[in-house]
């Protein structure tokens, strides 16, 4: 079974700073996807970024980038030039692209951006 | 167009009562998921519907939980004889099914269930 671990329950940084959220996972599969989702107070899960395991290049989306270390089974999210609107819960998730494509989530990191 | 819609937004019920939670997926999305988010936890998979295929119920925690999807569209998650540990946010997501790669999931805003 796959597991996803986020070891930082809470983080807090000042606006405009860079912050890195950690995520590790465990799997014996070779073909999989990793995701970071953002959950603001509205409760809606919003996809921030995704990484395909067979791609060595780290994914980037504007201010968001990942550091994907496949051998170490690590998938951290870096938020550059943080903004007040980045305040939310962030979840790391794992998925095997077969069948139901169920997402396996970590416990989440509550990120607060302070003005 | 409209996103995934869930109702009610919040539900408070007494222990032992039955509750029904509703999900309206995005029109045309054949895949529908229910996830549960307990306090301080990540989401856990409950059930998956895809078209007319038999649902994947492997995540349902007990036989008090059931779900159906009528006409390949609206889905209802039913919890019978609710217990306090059922208190959580129940999130629905829908997706188009593609034949390669990861499907982009569209989540609703969830139903917060509180069992007193």
For A65-104, the pLDDT digits (tens) are 999 999 999 999 999 999 999 999 999 999 998 888 899 9
Q: Find chain B residues with C-beta within 8 A of A35's C-beta.
A: 102
Query: pLDDT digit of tens for each residue in chain B (116 aa)?
Result: 589 999 999 999 999 999 999 999 999 898 999 999 998 788 999 999 998 889 999 999 999 999 999 887 999 999 999 999 999 999 999 998 765 677 888 999 999 999 99
Q: Find chain A residues with C-beta within 8 A of B103's C-beta.
A: 101
Phi, psi of A64 (to 5 degrees): -105, 135
Give dist(CA B111, CA B116) in Å, integer. 16
**In the predicted model, what is the mean pLDDT of chain A?**
95
Nearest residue to A90 via CA among A101, A75, A100: A75
Q: Is residue A69 within 8 Å of residue A59, measured between CB atoms? A: no
Give the gap in angstroms from C-alpha A21 to the nearest C-alpha of chain B: 15
* Mutation to test the A interface, candidates B10, B56, B102, most A Cβ within 10 Å: B102
Whether residue A62 is predicted with pLDDT greater than 90 in this model: the reply is yes
Give residue A71's pLDDT. Answer: 94
Alpha-carbon distances of A102 from A95, B46, B102, rounded to whole Å: 6, 9, 10
Give residue B100's pLDDT. Answer: 65
Give residue B86's pLDDT. Answer: 97
**Residue from the list A47, A97, A105 with its beta carbon closest to the beta carbon of B42:** A105
**Residue from the list A45, A46, A100 with its beta carbon closest to the beta carbon of B56:** A100
**Residue from the list B31, B41, B102 with its beta carbon closest to the beta carbon of A97:** B102
């Amino acid at each position: 079974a796959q597991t996803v671990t986020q070891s930082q329950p809470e983080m807090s940084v000042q606006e405009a700073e860079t912050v890195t959220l950690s995520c590790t996972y465990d799997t014996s599969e070779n073909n999989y996807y990793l995701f970071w989702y953002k959950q603001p107070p509205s409760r809606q899960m919003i996809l921030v970024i995704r990484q395909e395991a067979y791609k060595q290049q780290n994914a980037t989306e504007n201010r968001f980038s990942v550091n994907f270390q496949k051998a170490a089974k690590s998938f951290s999210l870096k938020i550059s030039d943080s903004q007040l609107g980045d305040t939310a819960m962030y979840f790391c998730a794992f998925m095997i692209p077969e069948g139901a494509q169920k997402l396996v989530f970590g416990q989440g990191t509550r990120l607060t951006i302070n003005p | 167009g409209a996103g995934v819609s869930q109702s009610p937004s919040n539900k408070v019920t007494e222990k032992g009562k039955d509750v029904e939670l509703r999900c309206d997926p995005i029109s045309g999305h054949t895949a529908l998921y229910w996830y549960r988010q307990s306090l301080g936890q990540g989401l856990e998979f409950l059930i998956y519907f895809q078209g007319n295929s038999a649902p994947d119920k492997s995540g349902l925690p007990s036989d008090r939980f059931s779900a159906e999807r009528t006409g390949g569209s609206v889905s209802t998650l039913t919890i019978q004889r609710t217990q306090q540990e059922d208190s959580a946010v129940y999130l629905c997501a829908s997706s188009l099914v593609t034949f390669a790669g990861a499907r982009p999931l569209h989540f609703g805003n969830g139903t917060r269930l509180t069992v007193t």
